[in-house]
Amino acid sequence: MRTAPRRASARWAAVGSPLHLALLACTFALAGYAGVRLLAGDRFGVALWFVGAALLHDLVLLPLYAALDRGVVRAFDAAGHRERVMYVRVPAALSALLLLVWFPLISGRADRRYRNATGLPADGFLGRWLLITAVLFAGSALLLVRRRCLRTRLRGASKDRPPTVH
């Protein structure tokens, strides 16, 4: 049995395009530069931080948010509305990302350091994060309602149309 000859584009599918590889290399270079520049003089601390972050993510956070996602999917499956899972996943993921980035300020653990570095008070980050989270979920709910209204309107318009004669 003969196999079809491999195209040049199939060869790049495994590793990505040259532009993709160049952008990936630039991203790693920028991340390495930022890591060395921001945490200069403490190579052991940097290595410990990267290893700790990887272990924390892989052993604690990944199973946690996978279990939460599985619970959300099961709840929507039980209600017969699995297609609505994304209206919860997207705002939850964005809110979790904001929490991850701003956790020291949201939790109040970096008050003194933030005030010394910027001269601004560090209070209010928890309230702002909660407000942004509420807006994300409210916007997602509005999109869901809008999509359901459009779908209902389109169904009603198709029922009123006379059948076409062939």
CA dist., res. 132 & res. 124, Å (int): 12
- Which positions of the chain have pLDDT values less than 50? none
Q: Are residues 62 and 108 in the same domain?
A: no
Which among 81, 116, 135 is the end of a domain?
Answer: 81
Q: Which of the 8 DSSP states describes residue 83?
A: G
Q: Which pLDDT does position 143 carry in this prediction?
A: 96
Contact 99, 107 (CB under 8 A): no
Q: Which pLDDT does position 13 carry in this prediction?
A: 59
Q: Which pLDDT does position 59 carry in this prediction?
A: 93
Q: Are residues 77 and 98 in the same domain?
A: no
Task: Note down the domain range covering 129.
Answer: 85-159
Structure token pair of residue 147: 């999509």
CA dist., res. 163 & res. 145, Å (int): 29
Q: Which pLDDT does position 117 carry in this prediction?
A: 84
Q: Which of 145, 141, 126 is nearest to 91 (CA)?
A: 141
